[in-house]
Chain A
Amino acid sequence: MQQTETAQGYVKNIWDTVKTTLVGMKITWRYMLQKPITVQYPDERMPIPDRYRGIHYLEQEKCINCLACARACPIDCIEMEAVRHGKELEWISFTLDYQKCMFCELCVYPCPKDCIHMGTEYAFVTFDRSEFKHDLLSFKGMAREARIRMKEAEAKKAAKDAAKAAGGGKSAEKGGEG
């Protein structure tokens, strides 16, 4: 449509324009009659693959509070706190700041117990910024099993000590203490 020198070019210009327009219209017409490929989002959702990197979830029973994930995190958004009672842990917090988190999955790989995972939940919406600091713990304090195990371990230890005291007969006071 510009700088046409020859009559031939003039006609060719018109011809090309009409032809390519019709070709394009044919393509769009074909698609208009097809079923759309989109889904109506909140009602239907696309399937989420297994490896999806969404909001984390923690297998708290397995976690040993080793801080490997927190160290691996490039932006230090994982913070955890737990009190150790012998072998058992009393959980206080395990927070992930989703304002910072960039879902890189680097925290998942170094875990020795394979207990932190990326979940499939992705829509994490809130009106308050502080809620983005998400606590991954499913319970605070100690698990019932852990408590039982601790009790058992203590009892065992006490029994052992008692046995030792009885066997050795050295210190009756110590046995009494346990």
Chain B
Amino acid sequence: MSGTSAFLEGLKAGLGEFVPMWALWLGSALISVAIALGLISLIAMFSVWLERKVAGHIQCRYGPMYVGWHGWLQSIADGVKLLLKEDLIPRDADRVLFMLAPALVLAAIVGAMAAYPLAPGILFADIDLGLFFIIAMSSMTTIGVVMAGWASNSKWTIYGSMREAAQVVAYEIPLGVSLLVPVMVAGTLNLREASAAQADFFGMGWFMFKNPFMLPAFLLFLVAALAETKRAPFDLPEAESELVAGFMTEYSGIRWSFFFMEEYAAMFLMSAIGAVFFLGGFESPLTHLAGQLFGRDLVVVGAGPEFAFTAINWGALVYQLVAGGTLLVKSFLGIFLMMWLRWTLPRIRIDQVMTMGYKYLTPLALVCVLGAALWEAGWQALVRS
């Protein structure tokens, strides 16, 4: 049973007959969306600031310095500025699609956010197909991007969206296939369960160390994730030196910032997936320690039908925080890695992107899957014998 529904069951039990179940569902859904949106905004703001700082320091300069300590409030200032900017829609643009595109992009990524586990016991939705759901939802953004490119009625944007479509189609395959390797080891697509499967060896039983094919699979995943999130060296849909700003050339103000939020949220989600399926997810020695000290379960589900939850283990909140924090740190390390790569590498050409996707990543990922499967089978046989 998922955390939310357990919580809801508890609430229903608590509130009794006063509130109908559908209202509880709706209310919790709205709250979840609000939290997810807020989370995305926070992530985007922090990532933008981090990106500017990383870029600055890599390039021997400071980055933002004036708004707050080392410019940490810069993103908020920028956000306010973007909100106040004039909302421009080109005369010849398709107005409906033009306005719909950023909304769709943002909606898709908020939806994908639903499967992100904040902590082992605090989730928006404990989806069994979590990984599949995230990948499916985040590739929904492509539709928004293509829509934006088309609706802008500009040649540069149509180039950008054409490239995005081609690129995402090409890189969905290696992304999915390379993720098959840890999924095979974990035996689940659920993010929470996959993370829990790595709790052995004092929280260091990461999938990364459990199979020799995991490291190449991780590298392949990293490359595919970069391409999937349109990050350099695969930022061809934007390609600021070639296509001005690609699909968002005609966008400005808050609509443009939606694309930006999507980009950073997608980066975050991809990093989170990587963290969960390769780098132990919630698990680390610290998490292990916290779990040992305070217990793991937040909600101790009681036995009686009247009271679905009998008690909340407040001590476990520490564990939950540590676990959630661990995942957050790992995700941001992934984001940092992406930024580091972005500020190091030149951009690949579009045909090379295709070649790399189809001729290099996909076969290599398949080899990894095969190797990992054989290894697992051999390992199992060894254990059994």
Contacts and interface: CB of A to CB of B under 8 A. Distances in A.
Contacts of B344: 21, 24-25, 27-28
Contacts of B5: none
A27 B81 CA distance: 35
Interface residues of A, number: 20
A27 B344 CA distance: 9
Contacts of B165: none
B337 to A, nearest CB: 9
A38 B59 CA distance: 10
A138 interface: no
B365 to A, nearest CB: 13
Contacts of A10: 360
A13 to B, nearest CB: 8
Interface residues of B, number: 21
B360 A34 contact: no
A1 B360 contact: yes
A1 B234 CA distance: 13
Interface in A23-71: 24-25, 27-29, 31-34, 36-38, 40
A10 B54 CA distance: 33
B219 to A, nearest CB: 8
Interface in B7-60: 54, 56-60
B352 A32 contact: no
Contacts of B348: 1
A32 B341 contact: no
B62 interface: yes
Given A4-B359, A21-B344, A37 B61 contact: yes
A37 B344 CA distance: 19
B57 A36 contact: yes
B355 interface: yes
B235 to A, nearest CB: 16
B356 interface: yes
Contacts of B356: 1
Contacts of A123: none
A36 B340 contact: no
Nearest to B53: A32
Contact of B60 (A24, A25, A36): A36
B343 interface: yes
A28 B56 contact: no
Interface in B55-99: 56-62, 65
Contact of B57 (A4, A21, A32): A32
Contact of A31 (B57, B62, B65, B352): B57
A13 B352 CA distance: 12
A22 to B, nearest CB: 10
Nearest to A23: B344
B217 to A, nearest CB: 15
A33 to B, nearest CB: 8
B58 A28 contact: yes
A2 interface: yes
B345 interface: yes
A1 B355 contact: yes
Given A14-B360, A25-B341, A32-B54, A2 B62 contact: no
Contacts of A2: 351-352, 355
A151 to B, nearest CB: 57
B65 A21 contact: no
Contacts of A29: 340
A34 B58 CA distance: 9
Contacts of A24: 344-345
A32 B61 contact: no
Given A1-B352, A29-B340, A37 B60 contact: yes
6 contacts: A2-B352, A24-B345, A31-B57, A31-B59, A37-B61, A40-B62
Given A21-B345, A36-B56, 19 more contacts: A1-B355, A1-B360, A2-B351, A2-B352, A2-B355, A13-B360, A21-B341, A25-B341, A28-B340, A31-B57, A31-B58, A31-B59, A31-B60, A33-B57, A34-B60, A36-B57, A36-B62, A37-B60, A40-B65
Minimum-distance CB pairs A-B, first 9: A38-B61, A24-B344, A1-B352, A32-B57, A28-B58, A28-B344, A37-B60, A1-B356, A32-B58
